[in-house]
Structure 1
């Protein structure tokens, strides 16, 4: 029998039982590759990560990320949560405040704050945005979310945007509409599969906390995630969308806070920073805090 050590963390929160759950296997080289997806499905968290030696010795680690349904080329809360676990448990002891993770989209820079041996905000850089297809049929959008066409905010486009992973963003007029929404997977598969995004992110600038810029929800049934309490890989493109279309004041850099997970009883805060020069987006960063929940062993017979 083989024992695989793993940690559980809640990411994008300072308190346990909030944020997004993550399992981290810090010695991923001991995990047979063909079992990684099965282990992620068995744990059934939004994501599970396996830490491997880097291909480039100048980098810190290679990271593989799995949802219960498939492997991802990059993701926000697994990157930030894995950095938190590795730093807190002493697997990584950098001389500075920066790490380089190898992920499916390339090298990802991770920065962290540490005061009196306590980890604070951990931030990851994301690839620059790619703005994809738009969709203008408000009736189909309303059907997708089990809402009324009048709930869709047509002042801004429903559009696919990616900073490594594509999401379909749908602006809604009110916080109440965001809370009422229920995703219909049949509409997503039958009417919107041509868009090139399997995940839907809906949002409103009406928020629970007036200090926050946006309230969001993310659905990814194709990835085995009915709803996600905090989605770092979606908040980078979200910030780009908000800045690009002037939904929020255009500053450089723009600092935004997205609240997510409230409908699931797992409130999460994601800190977004979008850099610009001459009205062109030049940098994308998403960050948050984490809390260690527990640790254990996974048995292989």
Structure 2
């Protein structure tokens, strides 16, 4: 149909900020988000939309289905996406489409909430889609159910389970407020490269243990003493940009996600005075998969 592509491109461009927001919250990766929008645009451009009464809702459905397929493929492959900065968009790319910018990735993660993105990575594809579309974008359960090939009641349960994990239930801990301040301060000091502030949080006998996948090294490593541990923490400044405070097995901890994938978890132990006595750094996929990661309230 003459002019159809131009009209659809205009509609897609008008809706692109919202569609991009939907895709990013589902995928947690800016590069994959832009890939999903490109795929959705190509599908929309080829489709017969003459009977579509709600173009914006229809485009949201197309983007959501593409993202769902990507999540399912991600779970099947369990491999890192190629990200070498090469622009692989075809000549028919949507006008205005952009390649992923690392600085924008950090900004978006902060806006959405790094902790939320990390928890989302622990959800199954259907749970993630149901939660994002309903709780964040008010898409009716009937519409989401059609995307998932489930009943509205089953879809509602998926969103409910995701919501419970996002909110989290901390283990009973009378010192939780003080420990939360310590974990927040540890993350702030690491992000800001404030060595002295980090040293002030550590017990004189602090021990840091890291598995072989953290550095990586041939085997696990152990570091003792305030200054050596603080120097080791300073080495993770880049990771700290994508790190948030969460519950790890019901206790306060830190988790880092990059490109929407959980990469590293830190578990802490504390002395009675609130100083950090132990840091367990976990990056081996097998160990990460056994952890219960959830949000904080």
Query: Which structure's CA Rg is the greater one?
Result: 2
Question: Could you say whether these structures have the same fold, taking a TM-score greater than 0.5 normalized by the shorter chain as the test?
Answer: no
TM-score by length of 2: 0.30
Higher relative contact order (CA 8 A, sep 6+): 1
TM-score by length of 1: 0.29
Task: Point out the structure with the larger helix share.
Answer: 2
